[in-house]
């Protein structure tokens, strides 16, 4: 890795931290940028760069997964939906339970009251990404 790549990674990490702070602040982008002392255009530029970098990483992860069979990390189970979402049973005694799905750095958590159709749609999106 050369110094340009290291500097680019440093700037991305720096701006990822700024974007996280903005999201946690609850302020609008305009107000946040005014408070921090930089222009909105700068914020949007780095937000776009972060998204591009995330997409590149996702592409690399997909390519790597296609080369080797997917291994389920310890503590996780592979979930496959074989029936239509409307036919999946919902147990009423699981109201306090929660389902967590993580793939490629994306996490989904929902309790048993969350509509099965929406979970199935999200899983469909995950399937397209892989």
Q: What pTM was computed for the model?
A: 0.48
The boundaries of the domain holding residue 116 are: 98-129
109 within a domain of the structure (yes/no): yes
Q: What is the pLDDT of residues 12-50, one digit of tens each?
A: 899 999 999 999 999 999 999 999 999 999 999 999 999
Residue 14: inside a domain: yes
Q: Does residue 84 fall inside a structural domain? A: no
Total of domains in the chain: 2
Is 73 domain-assigned? no
**Residues 7, 52: one domain?**
yes
Q: For the chain, give the longest Cα–Cα distance.
A: 57
Per-residue pLDDT tens digits for 67-97: 655 565 666 666 666 656 565 555 544 445 6
Asked if residue 74 belongs to a domain, the reply is no
């Amino acid at each position: 890795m050369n110094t340009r790549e290291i500097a680019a990674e440093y700037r991305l990490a720096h701006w990822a931290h700024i974007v996280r702070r903005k999201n946690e602040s609850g302020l609008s982008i305009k107000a946040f940028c005014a408070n921090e002392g930089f222009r909105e255009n700068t914020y949007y530029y780095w937000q776009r760069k972060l998204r591009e970098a995330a997409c590149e990483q996702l592409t690399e992860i997909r390519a790597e997964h296609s080369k080797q069979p997917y291994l389920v990390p310890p503590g996780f189970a592979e979930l496959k939906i074989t029936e239509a979402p409307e036919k999946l049973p919902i147990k009423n005694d699981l109201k306090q339970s929660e389902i967590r799905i993580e793939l490629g750095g994306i996490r989904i958590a929902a309790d048993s009251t969350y509509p099965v159709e929406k979970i199935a749609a999200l899983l469909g999106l995950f399937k397209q990404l892989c």
